[in-house]
């Protein structure tokens, strides 16, 4: 067997059955039904053929400020066979957790892995990189992590940042970020970098990405945060199995309450699904349906989103950016709006003001009538006085205007 | 004061003659106005079949997206749940569900794009106007004075005014003209999973609707297409199992609302008869009242011996 066998040759040599390889290929198709040239619109056999012809991709895996959770997710498959299969498909040439060597031997292994596949290998970075105080907070073989990652990335074909820490800092970058932890794309430039955030991300995303790169020779379409669209284009809320409960307004109000036990929507418990871009809702973990946070009744924490996890309150509810219709309907004729208290008060106040003003004005008119402005009334009063005094029949018209000071002067 | 028998007869006779003339003249023109409404050459529209609609509301979301309007979350912070068409909602799915358990039905409501639109007839400045080719009724901000007559005149209560905001707009379905220009179909019909709403030229839609009626005898209410002649004909057509009135589509008859208004308006002013009658009537009232005043003044003068000073 040649030094760089194809995947098919290697699998045959290591005794992997055709059946389990096809199962892996179908898992890849489930992982990336769209968005990858490798799996899109192809049958399992076509995918298997394409992968089988390819030389095993050389992968160098570096650890920095991490918890090794991303490595664990790659190894913690539902059956040990699958983990072996994954490690047979890719050639993991350097991985500090999985290799037996240590110290100078390990350093030598890294150097030889780089030299063997210079310009072709895929560098997978796990963990954030400390930058404060010239990166003294993490050193490998006496060299700061920043320097190591730059050196190894310089000769890589592509760089994949696996996990939230390598993508944008993750847990180590949470406030107050004492080590100045940053993601790979902050310190490495000039190389195509793909971020696979998640805590941990689904390992099939990594596998699909690496195989796409080696079979097709290019990286898939990325979003604004350099995340592959096939896995991070949509928010969890869009494909959530509990979405029907959201649309019907059935929410768990507290952990362990009736709604929570019945599997209702976790939005009001602080689920970040509506703002978290990830494919967890459709590609569950460990190849077991339902194995993912929301599936086991734990609200999504938004681990793929820089602005959400460790920056928002765990139980804080999030805004719904894309509100969609509920599963209720308005009636044909909507009920007429009632009279609100404020409106009634306003109308009452205006009516009262008008009424009051009218009354005051009428009072003034009355007083001016008494002052003799309206002559007709005065005439009538005068006539009544005459009647009351039972005066003699009038011989000639008597006109006695209201006397004014000026009139008196003339007299 | 008392009205003498003589005066009464005189008044009635004077007012009655022009009225009789007006009535005679008006009666002649009552049934005269049956002008046929021209159908635009490239009239497009929607055919909504309520019996196929599953109420998924994909069209509601698609409409918001196509018209770049935010989802109406004012009633319910988490959902796009408007109760009716409104300033943010140009398209809505409603549910007719009788309590007695008789068949229920969804209905999609949006602008009907009438052949003779009442909104455009009511608009004093042609801010709402019907495209002469496609027949799409749309609104232009430059012409609008914000009088909101369109919201009152529309018999389907479709145009809605943005009551909130400093530069309010009138919103209504404009058949996604911006998408039609790009060769796309309207947002609502483009996403309908069952084909309950389809877009196309009005003639094609009408023949399709009639084909469905013919193919499924007894399925559709009255075996007729709402909008073929209703309100003078509309470009958006409806098929339904339940009565159209129950779905909020009023029975308006074959005469369009503007045509009916125009008929009555013309009758009112024909030969200027009714205004003249009104004038004569008013003159009579004023004369009667003046007489009364004179009489009153005269009586008072006699009583008091004072000269009336009116």
Residue of B117, B124, B105 lying closest to B235 (CA atoms): B117
Asked if the Cβ–Cβ distance from A323 to B107 is below 8 Å, we say no
* CB hemisphere CA count around A126 (13 angstroms): 23
Token duo for residue A334: 């909507």
Largest CA distance in chain B: 95
pLDDT for position A222? 93
Extended beta strands in B97-153, E state:
105-109, 128-130, 137-139
Question: How far is the C-alpha of B198 from the C-alpha of B249, rounded, in Å?
Answer: 19
pLDDT for position A214? 87
Question: How far is the C-alpha of A283 from the C-alpha of A32, rounded, in Å?
Answer: 9
Rounded mean pLDDT, A314-326: 88
The count of other CB atoms within 10 Å of the CB of residue B121 is: 20
Question: How far is the C-alpha of B117 from the C-alpha of A32, rounded, in Å?
Answer: 51
pLDDT (tens digit per residue) in B3-44: 667 766 676 666 565 555 555 555 444 444 456 788 898 999
| Residue whose token pair is 């110290």 | A103
pLDDT for position B114? 95
Nearest 5°: the CA angle B132, B135, B137 is: 105
Residues comprising chain A, all counted: 411
pLDDT for position B2? 57
Provide the percentage of residues in chain B whose pLDDT is more than 90.
70
**B305 → closest Cβ in A331, A375, A397:** A397
pLDDT greater than 80 at residue A207 = yes
Chain centre distance of CA A76: 27
pLDDT greater than 70 at residue A54 = yes
In this prediction the pTM is: 0.71
Question: Which residues of chain A have a CB within 8 Å of the CB of B249?
Answer: none
Whole-angstrom CA distances from A10 to A88, A118, A124, A183 are: 7, 21, 22, 34
Token duo for residue B147: 């009088």
Q: A371 CA to chain B: closest CA distance, Å?
A: 18
pLDDT for position A411? 46
Question: How far is the C-alpha of A366 from the C-alpha of A406, rounded, in Å?
Answer: 24
Asked if the Cβ–Cβ distance from A320 to B93 is below 8 Å, we say no
pLDDT greater than 90 at residue B106 = yes
pLDDT for position A77? 78
**B79 → closest Cβ in A323, A379, A397:** A323
pLDDT greater than 70 at residue B301 = yes
Question: Which residues of chain A have a CB within 8 Å of the CB of B82?
Answer: 330
Rg (Cα) of chain A, in Å, rounded?
42
Q: A377 CA to chain B: closest CA distance, Å?
A: 11
Inter-residue contact B172 to B123 (CB < 8 Å):
no
Inter-residue contact A168 to A183 (CB < 8 Å):
yes
**Interface check B96 vs A, CB under 8 A:** yes
> Phi and psi (nearest 5°) for B92?
-145, 150
Q: B39 CA to chain A: closest CA distance, Å?
A: 29
Rounded mean pLDDT, B173-197: 95
pLDDT greater than 80 at residue A49 = yes
Inter-residue contact A4 to A56 (CB < 8 Å):
yes
**Beta bridge pairs of residue B239:** B49
pLDDT, greater one: A314 or B4: A314
The count of other CB atoms within 10 Å of the CB of residue A59 is: 23
Question: How far is the C-alpha of A24 from the C-alpha of A86, rounded, in Å?
Answer: 8
pLDDT for position A145? 94
For residue B197, what is the enclosing H or E element? Answer: strand B197-201
Establish whether the linkage from the previous residue to A200 is cis, with ω within 30° of 0.
yes
A-B contacts (CB, under 8 Å):
75
**Interface check B249 vs A, CB under 8 A:** no
Beta-carbon contacts of A170 under 8 Å, excluding residues fewer than 6 positions away, are A127, A128, A163, A164, A181, A183, A197, A199, A310
Q: Is A43 helix (H, G, I), strand (E, B) or coil?
A: coil
Rounded mean pLDDT, A128-144: 92
pLDDT (tens digit per residue) in A259-293: 999 999 999 999 999 999 999 998 888 888 899 99
**Beta bridge pairs of residue A195:** A161
Inter-residue contact A165 to A171 (CB < 8 Å):
yes
Q: Is A78 helix (H, G, I), strand (E, B) or coil?
A: coil
pLDDT greater than 80 at residue B79 = yes
Strand order in the sheet with A158-162: A91-95, A58-63, A122-126, A158-162, A193-196
pLDDT (tens digit per residue) in B64-75: 999 999 889 888
pLDDT for position B165? 83
Inter-residue contact B110 to B62 (CB < 8 Å):
no
Rg (Cα) of chain B, in Å, rounded?
28
pLDDT, greater one: B5 or B174: B174
pLDDT (tens digit per residue) in B206-240: 999 999 999 999 999 999 999 999 999 999 999 99
**B71 → closest Cβ in A323, A328, A331:** A323
Q: A293 CA to chain B: closest CA distance, Å?
A: 22
How much is the mean pLDDT over chain A? Answer: 86
Question: Which residues of chain A have a CB within 8 Å of the CB of B73?
Answer: 320, 323
């Amino acid at each position: 067997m040649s030094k760089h066998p194809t995947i098919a040759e290697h699998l045959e040599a290591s005794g992997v059955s055709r059946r389990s390889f096809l199962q892996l290929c179908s898992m890849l198709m489930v992982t990336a039904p769209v968005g990858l040239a490798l799996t899109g619109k192809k049958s399992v056999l076509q995918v298997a053929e394409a992968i089988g012809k390819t030389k095993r991709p050389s992968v160098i895996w570096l650890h920095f400020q991490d918890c090794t959770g991303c490595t664990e997710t790659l190894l913690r498959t539902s059956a040990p066979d699958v983990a072996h299969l994954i490690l047979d498909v890719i050639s993991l040439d350097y991985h500090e957790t999985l290799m037996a060597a240590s110290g100078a031997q390990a350093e030598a292994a890294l150097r030889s892995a780089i030299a063997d596949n210079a310009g072709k290998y895929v560098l997978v970075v796990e963990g954030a990189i400390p930058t404060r105080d010239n990166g003294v907070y993490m050193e490998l073989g006496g060299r700061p992590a920043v320097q190591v990652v730059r050196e190894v990335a310089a000769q890589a074909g592509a760089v994949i940042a696996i996990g939230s820490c390598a993508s944008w800092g993750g847990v180590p970058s949470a406030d107050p970020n004492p080590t100045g932890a940053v993601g790979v794309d902050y310190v490495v430039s000039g190389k195509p970098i793909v971020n696979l955030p998640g805590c941990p991300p689904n390992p099939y995303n990594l596998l699909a990405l690496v195989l796409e790169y080696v079979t097709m020779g290019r990286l898939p379409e990325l979003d604004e945060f350099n995340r592959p669209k096939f896995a991070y284009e949509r928010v969890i809320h869009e494909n959530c199995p509990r979405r029907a409960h959201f649309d019907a307004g059935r929410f768990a109000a507290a952990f362990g309450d009736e709604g929570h036990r019945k599997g209702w929507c976790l939005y009001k418990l602080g689920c970040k699904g509506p703002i978290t871009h990830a494919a967890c809702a459709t590609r569950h973990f460990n190849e077991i349906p339902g194995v993912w946070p929301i599936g086991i009744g734990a609200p999504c924490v938004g681990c793929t989103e820089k602005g959400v996890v460790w920056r928002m309150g765990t139980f804080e509810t999030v805004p719904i950016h894309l509100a969609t219709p509920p599963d209720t309907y308005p009636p044909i004729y909507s009920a007429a709006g009632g009279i609100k208290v404020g409106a009634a008060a306003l109308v009452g106040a205006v009516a009262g003001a008008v009424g009051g003003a009218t009354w005051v004005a009428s009072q003034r008119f009355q007083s001016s009538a008494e002052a003799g402005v309206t002559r007709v009334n005065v005439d009538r009063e005068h006539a009544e006085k005459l009647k009351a005094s039972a005066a003699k029949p009038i011989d000639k018209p008597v006109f006695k205007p209201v006397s004014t000071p000026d009139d008196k002067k003339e007299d | 004061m008392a009205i003498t028998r003589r005066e009464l007869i005189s008044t009635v006779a004077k007012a009655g003659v022009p009225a009789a003339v007006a009535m005679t003249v008006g009666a002649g023109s009552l049934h005269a106005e049956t002008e046929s409404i021209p159908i635009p050459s490239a009239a497009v529209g929607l055919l909504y079949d309520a019996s196929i609609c599953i109420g998924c509301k994909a069209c509601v979301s698609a409409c918001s997206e196509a018209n770049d309007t935010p989802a109406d979350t004012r009633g319910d912070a988490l959902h796009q749940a408007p109760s009716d068409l409104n300033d943010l909602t140009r398209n809505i799915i409603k549910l007719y569900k009788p309590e007695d358990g008789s068949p229920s039905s969804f209905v999609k409501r949006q602008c009907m794009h009438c052949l003779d639109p009442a909104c455009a007839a009511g608009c004093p400045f042609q801010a709402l106007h019907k495209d002469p080719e496609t027949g799409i009724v749309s609104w232009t901000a430059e012409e609008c004075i914000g009088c909101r007559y369109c919201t009152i005149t529309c018999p389907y209560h479709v145009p809605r005014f943005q009551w909130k905001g400093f530069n309010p707009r009138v919103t209504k379905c404009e058949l996604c003209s911006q998408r039609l220009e790009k060769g796309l179909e309207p947002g609502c019909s483009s996403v309908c999973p069952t084909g309950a709403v389809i877009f196309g030229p009005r003639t094609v839609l009408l023949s399709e609707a009639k084909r469905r009626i013919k193919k499924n005898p007894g399925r559709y209410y009255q075996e007729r297409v709402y909008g073929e002649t209703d309100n003078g004909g509309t470009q958006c057509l409806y098929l339904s199992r339940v009565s159209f009135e129950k779905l909020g589509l009023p029975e308006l008859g074959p005469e369009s609302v503007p045509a009916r208004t125009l008929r009555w308006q013309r009758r009112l002013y024909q030969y200027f008869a009714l205004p003249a009658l009104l004038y004569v009537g008013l003159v009579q009232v004023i004369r009667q009242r003046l007489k009364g005043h004179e009489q009153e003044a005269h009586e008072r003068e006699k009583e008091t011996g004072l000269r009336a000073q009116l």
